[in-house]
Structure formats: C-alpha cells, structure tokens
Amino acid sequence: MVLNRRGAAVVAVALLMVTSGCIGFLTGSEPLRFSAEPAAVSGSAAADAGYEYNGTRELTVNRSFEVGGQERRVIATSRISDYTKSVDLGPLGEAEVGVFNVVTTPAVEIAGQTLNPIGSYSNARLVEFVQQQYSGLSDIQQVSDRNITIQGTETTVTKFSATATIESQEVDVFVYVTKYRNGDDFVVAVGVYPQQLESQEESNVFSMMRAIDHPADV
C-alpha cells in the first residue's frame, strides 16, 4: 500500500507551529517546551469498526530561531495514534485500505495568545497537508460537510474525494478531516477508505471520530 499508514497523513500538522512566523516574537535563553496529551479511539469502538490499533507515536520538533539577534529554541511534541483496517478488494486481494489517524498538537499558548496556526485552519487547508504526506494521493475535491459532537464539542467533518495508489493500482477514495480543541491541545482526525466501501465504512469513520478520547491512557 503506497499510502503511509504510520500516521503520515497528518505529520505536517505537527510541524506547523514551529515553522510559522507567528512565534518569532518570543525571546529568552531557555527553550520553550510544549507537549500534547495523547488521544485514542475507545477500544470497543475501534473493534466494532474493524480497525486495529497500531500504537501512538511521538513527533518532536526541535527548531531554533533568530529573533532580534537572539536565538530561541522551541521544542514541541505532538502525538499520533494510528489505526488500520484490512479489506478484501477482490482482484487486488486483501490490503490495508482503511486508515484512521488521530493527532494531538499543543495549542502553544503564550500570554493568552494561541500561537499554533492549526486553530484557524479550515478542513480544506488541513487536507492539503494530508495530500502532501500521503504518497500517491491526488485530485482532492470537497464533497460535503457534516457536524458531529466529539467530547462535548460540535465540530465539522469535511468529506473529500481523491485518488490514491493502493497495491500499484489507482483507487478512488474518500478522505474525512475534522479538528477541534480540547484543553491545551488541538485534536485532528483523518479517515481514508476506498469509495467502493462507502456504504459500510462511512459510518465506521464517524463512529471512530465520536469515540475519540483525549487525553487518553495509551
């Protein structure tokens, strides 16, 4: 499967906070450290949807910036929980075609100001980073929006159509993206599956999203 199932769908999200110019005014000698709490889908919801939990990884970005002649280091840690689902695609055989990732990234709040640009990004902009990080994902088009409630917060899930490369074959897929804030972190969820499985997998993606727990003991 060309799609990188190890959380690459939203790795770029974790990099945004330390590459954005909006943190440039911060000065001082000690590194600024920010770390997100992990999130996960409840075990029962993942099992009911047929997804396998592949673990939660940390992504730590350590960057130095020169501001006003001073160098300042920012260390930011995001967490990525990965889930996959194997499906029999007939002539293509069985492949891990269902991908679901949950990323938590710290809001990076200083003096009451949220510096992580993720907070203002639309789902359409977030899916651009999904496209950059999924090898073989192209021709992304927005299909629809739907509001759901996750952890007591109403959030918009945007559905996109796209083309992916699976087992060296081009396959039409749907991509679902949503984002909300919980405490000090932003939580981003991404689900991908072949369009031919829409009748059974769309409800699974929404049930997985509704079952996100943050912070989670993973």
CB atoms within 10 A of CB 120: 8
Q: What is the mean pLDDT of the chain?
A: 82
Classify the phi-psi angles of 68: left when phi > 0, otherwise alpha if psi is within -120 to 50, otherwise beta.
left
Give the per-residue pLDDT at 48.
97
Distance CA 175, CA 99 (A): 9
Give the per-residue pLDDT at 111.
60
CA–CA–CA angle 129, 101, 53 (5° rounding): 155
Indicate the domain borders of the chain. Answer: 8-213
CATH of 8-213, one of 3.30.365.10, 3.30.70.890, 3.40.50.740, 3.40.1000.10: 3.40.1000.10
CA distances from 62 to 32, 70, 102, 117 (A): 10, 16, 22, 17
Q: What is the pLDDT of residues 6-62, one digit of tens each?
A: 443 444 444 454 444 444 444 566 787 889 999 999 999 999 999 999 999 998 878
**What's the rounded mean pLDDT across residues 125-138?**
78
Give the per-residue pLDDT at 136.
73
How confident is residue 140, by pLDDT bands cut at 50, 70 and 90?
very high
**What's the rounded mean pLDDT across residues 80-109?**
84
Q: What is the pLDDT of residues 60-91, one digit of tens each?
A: 878 775 555 667 677 889 999 999 998 877 77
CB-based contacts of 110, cutoff 8 Å, min separation 6: 26
Q: What is the pLDDT of residues 180-207, one digit of tens each?
A: 999 999 999 999 999 999 999 999 999 9
Task: Specify the pTM.
Answer: 0.85
